[in-house]
A and B are shown apart, each in its own frame.
Chain A
Amino acid sequence: MTKADWAALLADDAEEGRRRAMSDDTDRRPECRAEVEAIERLLKETEAVRSEIRQAAASVNWDALPALIADRALAADGPARARASAPGPLAWLAAFRLKPALAGLAAGLLVGAAAMYFALRTPTVRHGQDNSYYASGEFLDRAELEMARRNALDYLEKSQYVLLDVFDASGQGTSVPAAVRSERARDLLQKKKYLNAQLERVQMAKAKAICDQIELLFRELAQIDEELPAAEMGRLRDYVEERQLLLKINLVKKELQSGV
């Protein structure tokens, strides 16, 4: 008998013809018969173990055990199940049972919506794409006013120096050459062109008024490259004094320095 025969014999699934052949074989060959008897004796011992198991099983109260186990299971699982079954804000999701496809779709929609929200709502600096920055209209308005204030201050400061030169030239002492004075006046006239737009603001009305008066004087000075006679210089000085230009410049400057 082969190993396969023995395995089939032990598994009790040999075909009828094969079983008969094996039976004949064991009858003919004493060593085979001895082997079968040995295995039968061996397997008979399993009956003793089965008997032991029966005895052990008979001593168990099978009617009470299910309730005991169920109590333990429910006691252990109760709080967790109660927490899980409490309807939360997302309880409606449970109706879908989060099947993989639906869960994936829902997750995709959520991620997409979140990405769109952040992309459209939050202004961010994107390197290499757009270097402009965002600022509120109020902030820009305040910045423009501040620029106008500083430029007007600078203009008035420089104008003051030119006017003081006029006073020096009209009196005794050293004075700036007429050509230099004329050049400075031209520069200031040039600056005034750029300053005009900034002076249009309501807050800069006083500064505009004084700057306009000075501008008239500078137009005259810009055309004079040679030294003027004393009488002519006196007329210019009178113009400045009459309108109290230097005093007004100081007042407007102080006002501008303290903030518009």
Chain B
Amino acid sequence: MSEVSAGREAGAAEIASLLERIQAGDREAFMTIIRLYQQKVFVLAYSILRDREDALDTVQETFLRLYQKAGLYKPGKPFQGWLLQMAKNISIDHYRKHRRKRQEWETSKPIDEIPLPAEPSGEGDSPASDLRGAFAWCVDTLAERQKMVFVMRHYNELQFNEISETMKISIGTAKSLHFKAVQNLRKRLAPVLGIET
């Protein structure tokens, strides 16, 4: 994912200075922060929402919120964790709203018009595309915290310390949640992967 990651890591002093300028209404400073982190926010949002437009909306919403709340950032705390936490919360809100709307829409439609999710077929000879769909479906159905850790670890390629900062949990908890997520995925995908449970 290095291609889509920010070109460089900003130092804490640089970030603090940029945020101070943002509070004073400095457009250039704000754009600098966006350039540094926009792709990381996009990857996280896309991992959760799995939709390009929704992810872009989330990116915009995240930075708009950053612009309003730049003064709340506490210098010395990891900025990326703070920003991604904001992005995660916005993505989850978006996801829940979207899911509720989808459920409402589905309940108002005849059953044969509802697009069914790509559930694992349970057959050993499933094609690769089925496996990908089943995998996505299984990740989506993980418990929220397990899903967040899995997504951040494998899609965002964050280190466990970064995940713990973003989710405000200990590193040990992050590792434990990751292990549980993998275990659950392995169990659910066993028939598709052709492995014994």
By a beta-carbon cutoff of 8 Å, the part of chain A in contact with chain B is 3, 6-8, 10-11, 13, 34, 37-39, 41-43, 45-46, 48-50, 53-54, 56-60, 62, 65-70, 72-74, 76-77, 81
Contact = CB atoms under 8 A, between A and B. Distances in A.
Interface stretch (B12-20, B94-102, B176-184): B176-184
Given A53-B47, A69-B34, A69-B60, 11 more contacts: A6-B183, A13-B175, A41-B193, A49-B135, A50-B1, A54-B1, A57-B4, A65-B38, A66-B38, A73-B67, A73-B68
Nearest to A56: B52
Contact of B160 (A11, A39, A45, A49): A11
Contacts of A68: 60
Interface of A is mostly: helix
Interface in B85-103: none
B182 A42 contact: yes
B34 A38 contact: no
Contacts of B179: 3, 6-7, 10-11
A49 B49 CA distance: 12
Given A49-B47, A54-B3, A57-B43, A66 B136 contact: no
Interface stretch (B25-33, B74-82, B110-118): B25-33
A53 B4 contact: yes
The 4 closest A-B pairs by CB, nearest first: A66-B34, A7-B179, A46-B154, A73-B67
B39 interface: yes
Contacts of B142: none
B196 A48 contact: no
B148 interface: no
B155 A69 contact: no
A65 B59 contact: yes
B1 A70 contact: no
Contact of B155 (A6, A37, A49, A81): A49
B72 interface: no
Interface of B is mostly: helix
Contacts of A48: 132, 135
Interface residues of B, number: 45
B31 A70 contact: yes
A188 to B, nearest CB: 88
A49 B157 CA distance: 12
B190 interface: yes
Contacts of B42: 56-57, 60
5 contacts: A38-B186, A45-B135, A50-B1, A65-B38, A69-B34
Contacts of B3: 54, 57
B189 interface: yes
Contacts of B39: 57, 62
Contact of A77 (B67, B175, B185): B67
B84 interface: no
Contacts of A38: 186, 190, 193, 195
A59 B4 CA distance: 11
Nearest to B157: A50
Given A42-B189, A53-B46, A57-B39, A11 B30 contact: no
B56 interface: yes
Contacts of A50: 1, 154-155
Nearest to A55: B52
Contacts of B67: 73, 77
Nearest to B55: A56
Nearest to B131: A45
Given A48-B135, A66-B35, A7 B27 contact: no
Nearest to A47: B154
B196 A34 contact: yes
B64 interface: yes
B38 A62 contact: yes
B31 A43 contact: no
Contacts of A58: 4
